[in-house]
Each structure stands twice: as structure tokens, then as C-alpha cells.
Amino acid sequence: MRTGKTGLLFFILCFLLHITTDAQDSSYVRWTSTSKRISDGLYELRLKATIDKGWYLYTKDNQIEGVTGLKISFTNSSIQKQEKPQLTGTVKTITDKIFDNKQADVAEGDIEVVQKIKINEAIPSILELSLSYNLENTGTAKFENAGELKFIPEEQKITVTLEGGVEIVPSNRILISTIDLKNPVNSCGGVNETSGSLWQLFFWGILGGLVSLFTPCVFPMIPLTVSFFTKKSGDRKKGIGNAVLYGFFIFLIYVLLSVPFYFIEKGNPEILNNISTNAWLNIFFFAIFIFFALSFFGYYEITLPDKFTNKADSRAGLGNIVGIFFMALTLAIVSFSCTGPLLGTLVVSSLNQNGGAMQLTAAMAGFGVAFGLPFTLFAMFPNLLDKLPKSGGWLNSFKVVLGFFELALALKFLSNADLVKHWGLLKREIFIGIWVIVGILLTIYLLGKIKFPHDSPIKKLSKLRIFFAILTGAFTIYLIPGLSKEHENLSLISGFPPPLYYSIYQKQSDCVLDLNCSHDYEEGLKMAKKENKPILLDFTGYACVNCRRMEENVWSKPDVWKIMKDKFIVISLYVDDKKTLPTASQFTYKTLDSVEKDINTVGDKWATFETENFKKNAQPLYAIISNDEMLLTNPVGYTPDVNEYKQWLECGLSASKK
């Protein structure tokens, strides 16, 4: 028999004959499978087969035209074969009379195939693979009767159990192998590093430090401390040097407060975000801030135990440098009743920025600079002390005003807990309504109509006090439209109240600004496929201030909103959602860094989804992918520039058409 067209025709006829006459036959080869874990992600598969007597399995390609040797294929493209499969057993070379006496390598009887593979994502508990090969049966093995000859292309789908794997189903799919951060379709976008937010937090730290200087615990200490350094140091030059050292140690003490957080986040970059968004911890902070506010109002004094103060103070006289350090530590401890609430605000706000311990260090550094710098400056220029206002009743009034601010800030922590736990207690209008009440009370206090325990009698309102009363009154009036059914967007406080959709006037919506959205990746992917639209992934958080600012100040703009509404499916994934997953959907995930994580809540799942696919753990983070899960642009983070964000969306749309 000739090869070429005749051989190919014979092959087709034999194949059709098999389909029509042998479709109900059972396989002539029976496979079993085992696996062995070699290292992280590296496995050795052993596939054993028993071939029926009288049948041969072709082992190599291209020995005979149209004949396929044994091939192993995987449906998952992330699985890489590490080497060629090794076949052992009864393997021999035959003279194939079906194909014009060509030589062919075949296997018979019991064989074993060994294939090493590398899996670059989550290890599945069950691995599916396909085996394709051609079989030949010789009938009587004499080949005289062509009717006894059979040539069969066969494919077997088999499964292999892998050690340490998890069941990969839509409910627990984390790593998307087609997302390639290095090769988006269009190169626009890109996440800015955290330098901008670090400077922003440094500024807020400075502001907190400056405010703390004007509290009754700190302000009177400035002239006393400066006087000590300028008069007790022997000469002015030495006094200035000691004052500079004193200011530096104040700065250092507050920076050192952030050091433990580096150890806390080591090994799990999401832990600080988990801590800051923990519902019960937020309720604890709410209670602490109320406690601090009542202290500021003068109902009691908060101080650290005397043993801490006495111990630090007793060492303030040891040596020059050591003594100055303990003087700085004594100031930090003594002033805690006034600085504690401000420091607490900075700590929680920094952790909510999702930048890790570095964010907290920036805030504490700003606080330390503002808190320590005046002591150095006044020591260098003591004449400036004469221009400082004298201590008096205004200090207590300032402290009371801080108490009102503490009441307002306390509400933010209660709101965080309410949102992540889905309690529905503190809707947007209720939140704003309480702020309005606080604003009214603060305005009345500044006008002298309310008095607290340590307030001095007010004979005449100062111009400064009237100015601040007008300012707080105007701000309170500004808040009032936020109580309306029209969901007035209060851009000055965006990020602090609950989201616009979290309203008493409507049932809780799944979508910000009524966009086409989902809060589940797989569900959103189905929507995108059905409507043939690209996907805007929105990694967000209920306690994320910048996320709310983006929604209320950027997404709400007509041009941006229309693009997002008409052209995208928005998938908003809340990384701080504490809702517990159904038991069947909870699992342990092994990250690309070989860290095992328990996925028990919705937030656990989406936080891991973000870090595994986009190597970021900050919110907000936005990424545009196609509905076949290809990355269309570089992801972007907080982008307050409306035109810049709009151009990025348009770039994603352009990429989706390629």
C-alpha cells in the first residue's frame, strides 16, 4: 500500500469505520494515575496503562504520515511541562503492514508514562489532563485479512489527585493566569508609588502636632523647658545644642511608635488593613474617642500611671544625652492626656491608607517634627517667647473644641464597623445628622451659651471666637443638604460619611451611582460576557476614604459616569468585607510566595485576589480587563484628576477593540 493520498484516504476510511462500528466499544487502554510532590508547584505525574492484548499504542509522531504518537495536554495554560515524558514498559519497533511496511515504535501490555510539571498558580486538588494517541490492532497478527485490521485515533481524559491542592471552582478561583502585568494591551496608566500619600500623611502629622502644642498639657511646658535649657546649660551655645537634641528626641520617640507595626505586617502585607478595618476594633476606637472627648470637656483627667512618669522623670538627670532623652520621654508621657486622641486618630487614619507601616511612620514623623521643633526654635530665639499668648482660659476652650472634634471623629469608627458588618445602623443621613447636631452644639459653645467644668467666665466674646463660631455655623449649614432625599454630594467631607448609596431613602444598592456592577468577580465576568463589555475591576473598601472620594468626586462627573455606565461592567470587590463565606466556599489558599492563607470572609478572598493578580494591597486600585480576562491597561490607584481618569478609561476601551 502506498503512502501519500492513498494512505491518507485509507486513514480517513479506517477512522470513519471506527466511528460507525466501534463507537460503543470500551477503551482498549485502561489508565490509572498517581502524583508525587517534588517541591513547591513542581509535581511528578505517573500514568500507568494496561493495553489489551493484540493492540499496539504508537509512541512517536511523524514516523508514519498521519499517525500521532502519545501526547499529554492540559486545559490549564499555566501548567508547564518540565521535560519530555518518559515511557517505560514493553516498547518495540514493528514493520507496520497497514502503512506500507513502514517502521514504527509501539508499546504493548503494561506501560508507565512519567511527566514532570510546574504549576504557576494555586495547586488544584484534582488535575485534569488529556491523553491522545493512535492504536492499531493486528487481528490474527498475520495481516492477510484487511478486514481484521483496525486503526483508531483515541483520546482519554483522566484526573490526577495532587497533594496539598484545593478544589478549583468558580467560588474559590483566585489567580487568573491570563492577567499579565508586564504586557497589557495598551501601556497607558500605572500605579503611582505611595510618595504622594506619604507626604500627605506627613502633613496631617504636622497639623496634629501643631494642634497638640496648644493644649493645656503642652503649651505651658514650652517656656518652662526652654528656660531650663537656656539657663541651666551653662552658656547659650550649649543650651541651644541641648534644646536641639531635646527636639530631636521628641521626634525620635514618636517615630519609634511606628516600629512595632513593621514586625506586625511582616509575612502578611494585608494584616494592618485587616486590623484597621476590624469591626470590633473600630467599635473599641469609637468608645475610646468618646472617652477622650469627655476628658477634653473636663469631666475627668486621663493620665498614664504615675510609675511611668516617675520612672522617666527620675532618669532625666542621668548624664547629658541620656538625661535629655528621658526629659523628652517625660514630656511625651505627661502630655498623653492631650496628645493621645490626636495620636490615635493618626494611627487609625494611617492604617486605613493601606500603605503599611511606612504610612504610619510618615504620620508619626510629621507629628514629631511639629511637636519638637518649637522647643528648639524658642531655645535658639528666646525673645520669641515674649510673643506667645499667655496661658489662660483660652487653653481650656481650645481643649473643649477638640472634644467636639473627637465626638465627630468617633462616629467614623462606628460607621466603619457598621459598613463592614452590614448592620445598616448608621446610614448616610443619620451620620450627617449627628454631625449637624455636633456642629450646632459647637457653634453655641463658641458663642458662650454652653459651659463645661473648667471653663472660665466669658465677659466678652473675642473676635477670634466669633470668627470660629461663624465658621462652624457655616459648615453646619453646609451639611444640612446632605440630609435630603436628593443625596446631596458633600465634596468637602467626601470619604468620611457612608457611601451615597447607603441611604435611609432607598434599599441598599449593590452599585455605586447606579452603575452596572457586581460585587463578585465570577458573576461580573458572566455579565461582561453576556453584554460583550470590558470589565473595570474596582478594589475598594468600606473604610477606604480615598475610595469614597473617587466615587463622589470623579465617578460622579457626567463624562466619566456615562463612560462607566454605558461601556463597562464594574466589579467592585470590597477587601474589608467581614461577611463570612458559606462553609462550602471557605478554603485554604497557597499564594505564589508559598504562604498558606485561610479564606474565610469575602474580604479575605478579594484582598488575596488583588495581591495575587496585581501585586498590590492598596485601595483604591482600578484595573481594566477584557471579558476573556486579558489585561487591557496598566492598573491605576487614587486618581483625583477627572480628565486623567477619563483618558485612562478611554484607553481601556480602545484596547478592548484590538
224, three cell numbers: 518652662
Domain boundary among 360, 394, 426: 426
Residue 280 in domain: yes
Dist CA 26 CA 46 (whole Å): 23
Q: Residue 270: pLDDT band by 50, 70, 90 thresholds?
A: low
The 10s digit of each residue's pLDDT in 301-322 is 766 555 545 554 555 554 477 7
The DSSP 8-state label assigned to residue 624 in this structure reads: E
- Looking at residue 171, what is its pLDDT? 60
CATH code, domain carrying 158? 2.60.40
Residue 208 in domain: no
Residue 539 has pLDDT above 90, yes or no: yes
Residues 421 and 313 in one domain: yes
Of 253, 250, 281, 255, the closest CA to residue 358 belongs to 255
Contact 237, 581 (CB under 8 A): no
Residue 475 has pLDDT above 50, yes or no: yes
Residue 464 has pLDDT above 60, yes or no: yes
CATH code, domain carrying 574? 3.40.30.10
Q: Residue 21: pLDDT band by 50, 70, 90 thresholds?
A: very low
Of residues 294 and 137, more confidence is placed in: 294
**pTM reported for the whole predicted model:** 0.63
Residue 492 has pLDDT above 60, yes or no: yes
Residues 273 and 340 in one domain: yes
Strand partners, 601: 580
With a CB cutoff of 8 Å and minimum separation 6, the contacts of 487 are: 428, 500, 503, 505
Residue 246 has pLDDT above 80, yes or no: yes
Residue 175 in domain: no
Residue 489 in domain: no
Residue 460 in domain: no
Residue 148 has pLDDT above 60, yes or no: no
Of residues 650 and 258, more confidence is placed in: 650
Residue 408 has pLDDT above 60, yes or no: yes
With a CB cutoff of 8 Å and minimum separation 6, the contacts of 410 are: 285, 286, 289, 290, 293
CA dist 607 to 174, 266, 591, Å? 10, 16, 12
Span 388-394, average pLDDT: 65
CA atoms within 13 A on the CB side of 451: 7
Domain boundary among 426, 442, 469: 426
Number of structural domains in the chain: 3
Q: Residue 168: pLDDT band by 50, 70, 90 thresholds?
A: low
The 10s digit of each residue's pLDDT in 123-139 is 777 788 888 888 887 65
Residue 12 has pLDDT above 60, yes or no: no
Q: Residue 70: pLDDT band by 50, 70, 90 thresholds?
A: confident
Residue 71 has pLDDT above 70, yes or no: yes
- Looking at residue 334, what is its pLDDT? 72
Contact 652, 633 (CB under 8 A): yes
Residue 457 in domain: no
- Looking at residue 8, what is its pLDDT? 46
446, three cell numbers: 463658641
Residues 151 and 222 in one domain: no
Q: Is the peptide bond before 620 cis (omega within 30 degrees of 0)?
A: yes
What SS3 string covers 481-532?
HHHCCCCCCCHHHCCCCCCCCCCCCCCCCCCHHHCCEECCHHHHHHHHHHHC
Q: Residue 142: pLDDT band by 50, 70, 90 thresholds?
A: very low
Residues 419 and 517 in one domain: no
The 10s digit of each residue's pLDDT in 420-454 is 888 888 998 999 999 999 999 999 999 989 888 88
Residue 34 in domain: yes
Span 60-76, average pLDDT: 80
Of residues 30 and 152, more confidence is placed in: 30
Q: What domain range is 135 assigned to? A: 5-163
- Looking at residue 622, what is its pLDDT? 95
With a CB cutoff of 8 Å and minimum separation 6, the contacts of 242 are: 229, 233, 320, 324, 379
For the chain, the average pLDDT equals 79
Residues 141 and 243 in one domain: no
Dist CA 378 CA 380 (whole Å): 5
Residues 406 and 329 in one domain: yes
Dist CA 355 CA 477 (whole Å): 35
- Looking at residue 561, what is its pLDDT? 94
Residues 382 and 233 in one domain: yes
Of residues 634 and 119, more confidence is placed in: 634
Residues 137 and 219 in one domain: no
Q: Which amino acid is at 125?
A: S
Residue 62 in domain: yes
Nearest 10 degrees: Cα torsion 557, 558, 560, 563: 160
Residue 67 has pLDDT above 60, yes or no: yes
- Looking at residue 53, what is its pLDDT? 85
Residues 222 and 146 in one domain: no
Residue 149 has pLDDT above 60, yes or no: no
∠ Cα 212 542 511 (to 5°): 145
- Looking at residue 509, what is its pLDDT? 58
- Looking at residue 311, what is its pLDDT? 54
Tell me whether residue 374 is exposed, middle or buried, using C-beta atoms within 10 angstroms of its C-beta: 0 to 12, 13 to 18, 19 or more: buried
Of residues 582 and 154, more confidence is placed in: 582
- Looking at residue 565, what is its pLDDT? 93
Residues 139 and 234 in one domain: no
Residue 611 has pLDDT above 70, yes or no: yes
Residue 10 has pLDDT above 50, yes or no: no
Residues 542 and 396 in one domain: no
- Looking at residue 77, what is its pLDDT? 66
Span 547-574, average pLDDT: 92
The 10s digit of each residue's pLDDT in 188-241 is 887 655 444 677 788 888 888 888 887 777 777 777 676 666 665 556 677 777
Domain boundary among 380, 407, 426: 426
Residues 12 and 130 in one domain: yes
Least confident of 244-253, 274-283, 436-445: 274-283
